[in-house]
Structures are given as C-alpha cells and as structure tokens.
Amino acid sequence: MSKYHFTDRWLRSPAPTPTAGRVEFVDALCPGLHLRVTIQGTRTFSAMFRVNGKLIRQTIGRYPRVSLSNARAAALDMMRTAQDGADARERRSRAPCTVTYEELVEAYTEKHLKVNARSWRNIRSGLLNKRMTPFLKRPVATITRREIIDLCDTMVAAGTPQGAVNHLRYLKMLFNWAAGRDMIVHNVTSGVKPPAKSVERDRVLSDAEIAAVWKATFSLPTPYSEMYRMFLLTGQRRSEVATMRWSEVAGDVWTIPREKVKKDRAHTVPLSRTAQAVLQSLNGLPRFADDGFVFSTTGGRSASSNFCKVKRELDRLSGVTDWTIHDIRRTVRSKLAELGVPREVARKVLNHEDGKVDRIYNRHEYLLEKREALEKWERMLISISAAKNQTLA
C-alpha cells in the first residue's frame, strides 16, 4: 500500500490506474484516508482506523463526486467519532453500574419481551422466581459468573437438570439484551455452558395410564377436574386450556386468540360432545363476567394455577407417575396417528408449526377434518377408560 500526497491533478491523471486488478493508496497528508483505484479507473475514498485494536474501514464515496477536501474532512470526522465512542465505552466500563437485577428484568420485560415474545409472562416469571430472590436488589455489576454457575449446579443437584438448562437460557437472553443496549459492561453469562444435556422427552401414556388418569380426574376438585379432562379431550397446550375464557367459546367451537398461540393467527378447536359437557358442568357456577376465565377458583376473575400441587394429587389418585401435562399432547398426537388421522390434520389439531410456504398460502382452517379427528379420539378415549382388567406396568 503506497503513500502519496493526494492532489486533484494527480487524482484526475491516469497515473493511479493499475494495469490489472486494483491498487490502494494512503494519503500522506491525512493518513486515515485511503483511495482504491480499479482497472476501470474507478476511484473510491474510504477511511481506515483502529478501534480497540480492531481495524475498521468505512466507505466515503467515489471521486470526483466526493471532492478531495470533503473526503479528508469526512475521514477525520469518522475517526474522531469512532474515538469518542471508544472513549465513552471506556468511561462506562470504569463507572459502577447501579442498575439492580430486578430493574434490569423489568426494563427487559417492557422494552423487549412484551413487544417480541407472546410467552413473556413465563419468561419474566422464570427470571424473577424464588431462586433469584437474593439477586433482586443487587446491582447487576456485582453478580458474578461463579454465582450463576453455582445457581445452575444447585438446580441440577435438586433433580431439575432441564429446569437449570432453561433458567440459564433465560438469563443469557436477559444479559445479552442488556449488553447489546450498553446497559451493562460485562455479560456474566458469556461462556457459561449448559449445566446438563437437554433430553427430548418421548413419554407417551399407555392405554392403562390414560384410563387411570381419566378416572382419577373425577376425584379432583373443581375446576381442576374439568381442566384435566379438557387437556385429554383436546390435546391443546397447558397455557391455552388453563387461560380459556367464556368469550372464546361459541357453541361447539373454541377459538384461541392469536395472542395466546405460537402461530400468528387464531386457532379453532372443535369441541366434542364430551368436551361440551365438561364446559356445561361449569357454566352453571357463579361468575362475575361473560369474559371471565373458565377454569377458575375466583369466579372467573383469574385463571387457576397451582399445577404442581394438583398434579401430585392426580399422580397419587391415578398411580401414574413420571409424566407431565405436555406429555398429554404427545399422547393425543400419537393416538391420532394410530387412528389413521392424516398427518396434516393431526398437526392442525395440535396447532403445530407449518413450513413458511404453508403458512403463507394454505389458509384452510380444516375445521371439519379437525372435528372428525377429535371425535375419533373422543370415542377411543371413552373406550379405553371403560375397558376392564387394565393394569399399570
């Protein structure tokens, strides 16, 4: 790379033009100003400088559209701006960060999660769960990588390795976002490896287990009794069933609004006769509004939760253990395949993600096909539950 005292006379002359490829010159008067000249004679100014040891190139423009004097001024301005930014970052790295962990989570929730994640409540809840209580009022700058690792190791030791993996993922999302907005200087989760290997669940309830769980639901208190039967009858996600509102049900169709599902449009679920009967058994209970929650212990003011306690009781009553509510979805999907329901219809029943092309062009709702599939599953479920001499493995 040759140094040359740039002048307009030299720039206009054929002298800088190479015989092959391209050549680059550095201005002797303004060392950060570079000129690239191609074999076609195209002359392009750029500025080159280092920021924190990294070489940066910024294109200024072509000569003579950009004059020599303007190119020098632009190069100096770019270098000055870059240095000012580096100095500011250096000052921030020396200044103490006073943002608390709780304040950071709230900012992340308001500015990012609510805008971009439909499951923002679950993520926020995970970031603020009881394990994080000791960190809530602490400045983020005082939280160490060692503490994050110890937290995850404690969860693994407590028998919740997948919970530890998920918790670390949420923390990485939080700190990556904060670092990208210059709210923190150091990302303490950077380089922290997952504390356990993620294991894809493959649990499917056997016919005997399905029957045992179904029968045990009738011994649960309202509304959990009805909620678990709705899980089994529809195969929908826990959050979707648990937060069902009366306004979402019209006759024999339940329409889950788009803000509650993973897809970008509402999901319609045909209700079988048994599913309708489950809702009718709750319809006569006192409720404060027509838009209230269906499965509620407060008359519809809030959705029921307390899943862990109720699930333990259901396990005790049924004798079926080592399963999750989400395993019901996998079980329903497997039974639909066993019943010969076409793959496309079964995916629509559970509202599984389509390919991009299908999402754009296939707008058919499959309402009739979904109804036939869920009615087939309803008949099988009732038949399984009525069968005798079934024993748990």
Mean pLDDT of 25-47: 92
Q: Alpha-carbon distance 77 to 100, whole Å?
A: 37
pLDDT at 97: 66
In what order do the strands lie in the sheet containing 249-250?
A: 249-250, 253-256, 267-270
What CATH number was assigned to the domain covering residues 2-94? 3.30.160.390
Which of 185-194, 316-325, 328-337, 340-349 is predicted least confidently? 185-194
Band of the pLDDT at 258, cuts 50, 70, 90? confident
Task: Give the CATH architecture of domain 207-386.
Answer: Orthogonal Bundle (1.10)
Residue 87, pLDDT > 70, answer no
Residues 6+ apart with CB under 8 A from 357: none
Mean pLDDT of 110-125: 86
Mean pLDDT of 283-296: 79
Report phi then psi at 46, rounded to 5: -150, 160
Residue 85, pLDDT > 90, answer no
Residues 6+ apart with CB under 8 A from 260: 118, 239, 240, 243
Q: What average pLDDT is seen over the chain?
A: 88
Which tokens belong to 31?
């060392």
pLDDT at 326: 92
Q: Which of 98-102, 186-190, 267-271, 359-363 has the highest mean pLDDT?
A: 267-271
Mean pLDDT of 151-155: 93
Q: Alpha-carbon distance 320 to 303, whole Å?
A: 26
Provide, rounded to the nearest whole percent, the portion of the chain with pLDDT above 70. Answer: 91
Q: Print the SS3 string covering the chain.
A: CEEECCCHHHHHCCCCCCCCCEEEEEECCCCCEEEEEECCCCEEEEEEEEECCEEEEEEEEEECCCCHHHHHHHHHHHHHHHHHHHHHHHHHHHCCCCCEHHHHHHHHHHHHHHHHCCCHHHHHHHHCCHHHHHHCCCEHHHCCHHHHHHHHHHHHHCCCHHHHHHHHHHHHHHHHHHHHCCCCCCCCCCCCCCCCCCCCCCCCCCHHHHHHHHHHHCCCCCCHHHHHHHHHHHCCCHHHHHCCEHHHEECCEEEECHHHCCCCCCEEEECCHHHHHHHHHHHCCCCCCCCCECCCCCCCCCCCCCHHHHHHHHHHHHCCCCCCHHHHHHHHHHHHHHCCCCHHHHHHHHCCCCCHHHHHHCCCCCHHHHHHHHHHHHHHHHHHHHCCCCCCC
Which of 23-27, 199-203, 368-372, 389-393 is predicted least confidently? 389-393
Q: Alpha-carbon distance 240 to 244, whole Å?
A: 6
Report the C-alpha dihedral over residues 73, 79, 83, 84, rounded to 10 degrees: 30
Contacts within 8 Å (CB) and 24+ apart, 344-349? 345/369, 345/370, 345/373, 346/373, 349/235, 349/269, 349/373, 349/374
Which of 85-89, 99-103, 116-120, 332-336 is predicted least confidently? 85-89
Residue 88, pLDDT > 60, answer yes
Residue 94, pLDDT > 70, answer no
pLDDT at 71: 93
Count other Cβ atoms within 10 Å, centred on residue 105.
23
Band of the pLDDT at 83, cuts 50, 70, 90? confident
Which of 186-195, 241-250, 373-382 is predicted least confidently? 186-195
CA count, 13 A, side-chain hemisphere, 13 = 7
Band of the pLDDT at 215, cuts 50, 70, 90? very high
Which pTM does this prediction carry? 0.61
Mean pLDDT of 106-123: 87
| In the block, residue with structure tokens 């539950």 | 385
pLDDT at 363: 55
Band of the pLDDT at 90, cuts 50, 70, 90? low
Band of the pLDDT at 390, cuts 50, 70, 90? confident
Mean pLDDT of 246-264: 87
Residue 114, pLDDT > 60, answer yes
Q: Are strands 22-27 and 33-38 parallel, antiparallel or unpaired?
A: antiparallel
Q: Backbone dihedral region of 174: left (phi > 0), alpha (psi from -120 to 50 degrees) or beta?
A: alpha
Which of 35-39, 218-222, 236-240, 386-390 is predicted least confidently? 386-390
Band of the pLDDT at 344, cuts 50, 70, 90? very high
pLDDT tens digits along 61-74: 999 999 999 999 99
pLDDT at 127: 95
pLDDT at 373: 97
pLDDT at 362: 54
Residue 391, pLDDT > 80, answer no
Residue 187, pLDDT > 80, answer yes
